[in-house]
Chains A and B, each alone.
Chain A
Amino acid sequence: MSSKKIKIALVGNPNTGKTSLFNQLTGMTQKVGNYPGITVDKKQGGCKLPDGTLAKITDLPGTYSINPNSLDESIVLETLLDTDSKDYPDLVVVVAEVENIKRNLFLFTQVQDLKIPAILVINMADQMERKGISIDLKKLKEALKTEIVLISARKKEGIEDLKQAIVNYQEVPREIPFQISGKIDVAYFNELKNSLKEFPLYKSWLLLTQKQEASFVSKTSRRILASFKKDPKKVKKYQHKETIYRYKFINDILKRTYLVDPSKAKDLRSRLDKVLTHRIFGYVIFVGILLLVFQSVFDWASVPMDWIDGFFSNLSKTVKDSLPEGVLTNLISEGIIPGIGGIVIFIPQIAILFLFVAILEETGYMSRVVFLMDKIMRRYGMSGKSVIPLISGTACAIPAIMATRNIAGWKDRLITILVTPFTTCSARLPVYAIIIALIIPETRVFGLFSLQGLVLMALYILGFAAALLAAYVLNKVLKVESKTFFIVEMPNYKLPSVKNIIFEVVEKTKAFVLGAGKIILAISIVLWFLASNGNRDFKNATQQVTEQFSESEISEEALDQKIASYKLEHSYIGVMGKLIEPAIAPLGYDWKIGIALISSFAAREVFVGTLSTIYSVGSDDEGTIKQRMAAEINPITKEKRFNFPAGMSLLVFYAFAMQCMGTLAIVKRETKSWKWPMLQLVGMGLLAYVSALITFVLLK
């Protein structure tokens, strides 16, 4: 038994089943972390090899070449070039897909040229026969000077062979079949080689062809590299030549080792694409799928959400009744339990949305959406790839903004980041749901559609429209230089793997609950504290109110109510709400809604929780939040507080305002500047205020 450890990096094109293989190798040991400074997920896990060695496996982002075109692809370059990093691999496993082996070999020869030991895995080997593919493995191994393992990651076939091959990796011949030296401008490359003797030639070449200078290379080396960069046209020409030579090498090998029987090739792809990318049906189907997704999110999620709501309000009551009275009991029953409930209630909706996004990605359909939508999105200064963040934004803007990193052009990406928070995220849903329930009657239109559902759908459309409109304006206004090009692979259609999807949904939901949850819980506790403490008036509430009503005939119960509301009014949070009341009164809100608005700037979903905290402090009424809100009366007009104009105004306010600290933080991280999140905060805030004002004035 040895306690050796080896570091392995999984590299491969997107859609080769690299993640399936990673899941099979690492199982539940995997962890998702972050690369320093950027938000690209870093997936690592452990795997025990047959000889007892522990392998630390890193799943690098999918890429077609070591030359990066986007932020996540640059991780591959950096990992393979920075020999001093703690993640520098002892061995690279290049994952190829049986149908697209040519393009995968391109990447493989690049890794080899860096003088990193590499073995090749050909995935989906179980489909070879059906697709009429035959590979002469022996010849291919000889030609590529490496070990090759056939696997079917989904069927768990060949995984043990791969582990054994990793154990034997020292025996893989280190001879490099294709090297950049000696092919193009021999003098130039020889000089480069001799100037930087400590690097493999291909590493020097990759370093000098990148736009950005590598931080991990010494200043002296950087200066030497710069001297070879003087003629950018020449460098570019040589890059093109390199590509041509590499493919020539690969084609020559594959001609001898890889055969496809065209009569057996069943073309599911072309039959599906005829419909799914059709210039009319393609769009009809896309809209249909979107409607299906949203419908399911509401229908399926509403039942568990009702349970969760009921469960937590019962739990609060039970705790209050069974624990001895005191500050701690109040903190638990009025602060912590509603706070946790406010997070847990989102899990059904978020998980269902993540589920759909994962299925659309896994099947290969998402690339077709990118193809269909590119021209339309370009009109608004974005790219077809912006559609994915905008759809994911309906779950949560935070992962959506992280999903923009595969958009190649900086301007496209920046605009997508800036407008994504307009899409109706699931944090807005509870706010919308409760206000709609209060102001829109439960009737049906044409006896078919529920009016409440239609209003909710209108709010979704409002969110998307605002995103597009804002993008249009930003596209005209922003002066950002960026050259973009657009290449999107159209992968083969695949049945989604249940295991991959479960991993994806669990991972993303967990990240959301833990990330956003901490903020929500903290705020709930702070709010509870601010609502149950106050100045001198607050402390003397009982005395003051009792004196005030000493002359009048009033029941004890009503007196308690008066005391409670007097207390709330003079608590710290009440004082804060009153302070901003003059500013929000024109929108139809009072100081209690003001409190909810203030706390919502931390995260929107806090709105419902805050109102429930505000109304439950000191109250013995066990009704649901909705019943308490419906009972609120505007003391001046004697009308309901949440009447139609005020409710509509609130809906519009929440549709537009940038009320999420998590999103602001992520935008800062992704754009590396406070300028953009501040623009979102102020711009969206102003839009929200003005629109809500107009709505209230028009409807009053």
Chain B
Amino acid sequence: MSHTVADLHRGEQGTIESLSFDEIPLALMEMGCLPGKQVTLVQAAPMKDPMYIHVNGSHFAIRRETAERIVLTKRLCDEF
């Protein structure tokens, strides 16, 4: 199981590993959501949808289905 933005808890951070090019809208990248960038989950609406994130200096909300496409690098605890 890959770890995505949708798995973040409120206030938690992660680093973007990759975005699936075919499914990610260009606009998301143009807002600054790029591989290698830190992403923080600022707030989530009920059912974690939509999700309000902070990445690369931008604050914006995306739906859960989009958040699931943003893969994060594995957390340390996953490796042990």
Contact = CB atoms under 8 A, between A and B. Distances in A.
Nearest to B58: A103
A236 B21 contact: yes
Interface residues of B, number: 32
Interface string A578-618: 00000000000000000000000000000000000000000
Name the prevailing secondary structure of the B interface residues: mixed
A387 interface: no
A240 B63 CA distance: 20
Contact of A243 (B22, B29, B60): B29
A99 to B, nearest CB: 8
Given A67-B26, A375-B50, A103 B31 contact: yes
A51 interface: no
B50 A243 contact: no
Interface stretch (B1-9, B39-47, B70-78): B39-47
A503 interface: no
B21 A243 contact: no
Contact of B31 (A64, A236, A273): A64
A244 B29 contact: yes
A698 interface: no
Contacts of B28: 485, 487
Contact of B27 (A269, A278, A370, A487): A487
B52 A489 contact: no
Contacts of B34: 243-244, 247
Contact of B29 (A240, A279, A370, A375): A240
Best-surrounded residue of B21, B24, B32, B61 (most CB of chain A within 10 A): B61
B79 interface: no
A51 B32 CA distance: 40
B44 to A, nearest CB: 8
A269 B63 contact: no
B38 interface: no
A100 B32 CA distance: 11
A19 interface: no
Contacts of B44: 279
A270 interface: yes
A445 interface: no
A487 B61 contact: yes
A371 B49 CA distance: 9
A64 B57 contact: no
User: Chain A, interface size: which category?
Assistant: 35 or more
Contacts of A239: 26
A61 interface: no
A374 B32 contact: no
Given A243-B34, A277-B52, A375-B46, A488 B61 contact: yes
Contact of A273 (B19, B25, B52): B52
B52 A490 contact: yes
A487 B31 contact: yes
Given A102-B57, A103-B57, A247-B32, A486 B26 contact: no
A65 B21 CA distance: 18
A177 B24 CA distance: 28
B63 A490 contact: no
B25 A371 contact: no
A375 B52 contact: no
A239 B21 CA distance: 10
Best-surrounded residue of A67, A102, A371 (most CB of chain B within 10 A): A371
A329 interface: no
Contacts of A391: none
Interface string A654-680: 000000000000000000000000000
A259 to B, nearest CB: 13
Contacts of B27: 64-65, 67, 69, 485, 487
B26 A240 contact: yes
B66 interface: yes
Contacts of A367: 61
Best-surrounded residue of A65, A236, A367, A375 (most CB of chain B within 10 A): A375
B45 A375 contact: yes
B66 A486 contact: yes
Given A64-B30, A273-B52, A279-B46, A487 B57 contact: no
A374 B58 contact: no
A65 B32 contact: no
A17 B60 CA distance: 18
Contacts of B58: 100, 102-103, 489
A239 B43 CA distance: 30
A75 interface: no
Interface in A468-486: 485-486
A563 to B, nearest CB: 67
A243 B30 contact: yes
Given A67-B27, A102-B57, A103-B58, A372 B45 contact: yes
A233 interface: yes
A102 B32 contact: yes
A67 B30 contact: yes
Nearest to A273: B43
28 contacts: A65-B26, A69-B27, A100-B57, A100-B58, A102-B32, A102-B56, A102-B57, A240-B19, A240-B24, A244-B29, A247-B32, A247-B34, A274-B43, A367-B61, A371-B61, A375-B49, A485-B25, A485-B66, A486-B62, A486-B63, A487-B28, A487-B31, A487-B60, A487-B66, A488-B61, A489-B60, A490-B59, A490-B60
Interface of B: 19, 21-22, 24-32, 34-35, 42-47, 49-50, 52, 56-63, 66
Interface of A: 64-65, 67, 69, 100, 102-103, 106, 233, 236-237, 239-240, 243-244, 247, 269-270, 273-274, 277-279, 367, 370-372, 374-375, 384, 485-491
Please give me the 9 A-B residue pairs with the lowest Cβ-Cβ distance, nearest first.
Answer: A490-B59, A65-B30, A243-B29, A485-B25, A371-B61, A277-B43, A488-B61, A489-B60, A102-B57
